[in-house]
């Protein structure tokens, strides 16, 4: 019995020592998002936004991109990329399930699925939110190194694993949103095409 208590004590001591001495590194992006291309294939940037100071103080993102692109047929898509480099003082990714309702958007539907993007499979969430008479389709995912994740539990698991093995907790949140009226399938087709065409550029900026 004393041996069991001693083993438990040593285990707790080792865990406490690790937590006190362990610190994650702040991982820089390959390039700042300010250099993200304004045109990709037939898509061109039409607007660029910024986070307010209050929002940034809450998110504490290392780098953020908020842009609206327009396609050749007039399709409008907003792209948001939030990169969190980890390290001391860095913020955590906030789930849209909490942020969007806080902005007045009500979830109408949500499901996780996978699409083929080149040689890769991309795990993402397809969700429809409504605010008043406005409807918007959201496609989003979390990127941790070379892995695309569609749920918060997997995101936390990958961050913890990378922290223990590599001293890094960097992660990204990528969201594509398409306003629509009536035809959700058409909005989904536009969103998937946008994601597939932009994915190589997005991954080129994020550390692997």
Specify the pLDDT at position 19.
40
How many C-beta neighbours within 10 Å does residue 173 have? Answer: 21
Write out the two tokens for 151: 């749920």
**Taking residues 145-161, what's their average pLDDT?**
92
- pLDDT-based confidence at residue 87 (cuts at 50, 70, 90): confident
- In angstroms, the CA 159 to CA 35 distance is 26
Q: Which of 6-15, 17-26, 136-145 has the highest mean pLDDT?
A: 136-145
Whether the predicted pLDDT of 18 surpasses 70: no
Write out the two tokens for 50: 């910024």
Specify the pLDDT at position 123.
97
Specify the pLDDT at position 196.
96
How many C-beta neighbours within 10 Å does residue 124 have? Answer: 24
- Counting residues of the chain whose pLDDT is more than 70, the rounded percentage is 89
Better pLDDT: 16 or 168: 168
Helical segments of 38-183, H only: 53-59, 96-102, 152-166
Q: Which of 6-15, 93-102, 116-125, 189-198 has the highest mean pLDDT?
A: 189-198
- In angstroms, the CA 41 to CA 176 distance is 17
Instruction: Please state, rounded to an integer, the average pLDDT across all residues of the chain.
Output: 87
C-beta separation of 123 from 153 below 8 A? no
**165: exposed, middle or buried (Cβ count in 10 Å: 0-12, 13-18, 19+):** exposed
Comparing 4-8, 51-55, 162-166, 177-181, the range with the smallest average pLDDT is: 4-8
For residue 148, which phi and psi values (nearest 5 degrees)?
-100, 135
pLDDT tens, residue by residue, 107-133: 999 999 999 988 889 999 999 999 988
**Taking residues 10-32, what's their average pLDDT?**
63
Distances (CA, A) of 113 to 121, 137, 144, 189: 10, 14, 18, 14
- pLDDT-based confidence at residue 96 (cuts at 50, 70, 90): confident
C-beta separation of 39 from 72 below 8 A? no
């Amino acid at each position: 019995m004393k041996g069991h208590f001693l083993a438990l004590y040593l285990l707790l001591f080792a865990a406490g020592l690790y937590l006190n001495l362990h610190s994650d590194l702040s991982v820089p992006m390959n390039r700042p998002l300010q250099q993200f291309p304004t045109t990709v294939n037939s898509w061109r940037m039409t607007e660029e936004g910024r986070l307010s100071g209050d929002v940034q103080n809450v998110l504490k993102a290392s780098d953020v991109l908020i842009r609206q692109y327009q396609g050749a047929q007039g399709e409008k898509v907003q792209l948001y990329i939030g990169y969190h480099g980890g390290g001391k003082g860095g913020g955590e990714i906030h789930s849209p399930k909490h942020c969007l309702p806080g902005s007045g958007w009500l979830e109408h539907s949500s499901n996780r699925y996978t699409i083929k993007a080149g040689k890769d499979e991309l795990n993402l969430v397809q969700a429809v939110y409504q605010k008043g008479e406005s409807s918007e389709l959201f496609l989003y995912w979390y990127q941790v190194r070379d892995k695309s994740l569609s749920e918060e539990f997997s995101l936390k698991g990958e961050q913890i694993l990378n922290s223990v093995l590599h001293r890094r907790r960097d992660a990204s949140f990528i969201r594509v949103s398409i306003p629509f009226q009536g035809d959700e399938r058409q909005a989904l087709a536009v969103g998937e095409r946008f994601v597939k065409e932009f994915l190589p550029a997005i991954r080129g900026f994020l550390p692997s």
